[in-house]
Amino acid sequence: MTECVSKRKRPGHIGLKAFAISGLLLASFGLAALALWPGLDLAGAAWFFIAPGHFVGATPEMRAFRTFASVLPFVIYAGAILLYLASLALMVPRHLILSHRGMIFLSLSLALGPGLLVNQVFKAHVHRPRPIHVEVFGGTAPFQPFYKADGDCEKNCSFPSGETAASFWTMAPAALAPPPLRGVAVAAAILFGAATGLSRMAVGAHFLSDVLFSGLLTGLMTIGFWYATRPNRAPHMTEAKTGLQEDLAPL
Q: What confidence tens digit (pLDDT) does each residue in 41-57 have?
A: 999 999 999 988 789 99
Q: Determine, yes or no, domain membership for 74.
A: yes
Burial 24-56 (b: 16+ CB within 10 A, else e): eeebeebbeebeeebebbbebbeebbeeeeebe
Q: How many domains does the chain have?
A: 1
pTM of the model: 0.85
In sequence order, which ranges of 47-169 are alpha helices (DSSP H)?
60-88, 100-110, 123-125, 162-168
Q: Determine, yes or no, domain membership for 156.
A: yes
Q: What is the dihedral of CA 59, 50, 167, 213, to 10 degrees?
A: -170
Q: Which residue has the higher pLDDT, 50 or 3?
A: 50
* Strand partners for 55: 49
**In the chain, % of residues over pLDDT 90:** 63
Q: What is the pLDDT of residues 24-44, one digit of tens each?
A: 888 999 999 999 999 999 999
Q: Determine, yes or no, domain membership for 55.
A: yes
Q: Which residue range(s) make up the domain with 22?
A: 2-232
Q: Determine, yes or no, domain membership for 28.
A: yes
Q: What is the pLDDT of residues 169-180, one digit of tens each?
A: 999 999 998 888
Contact predicate 230/236, CB 8 Å = no
Q: Determine, yes or no, domain membership for 245.
A: no
Q: Which helix (H) or strand (E) holds 185?
A: helix 179-202
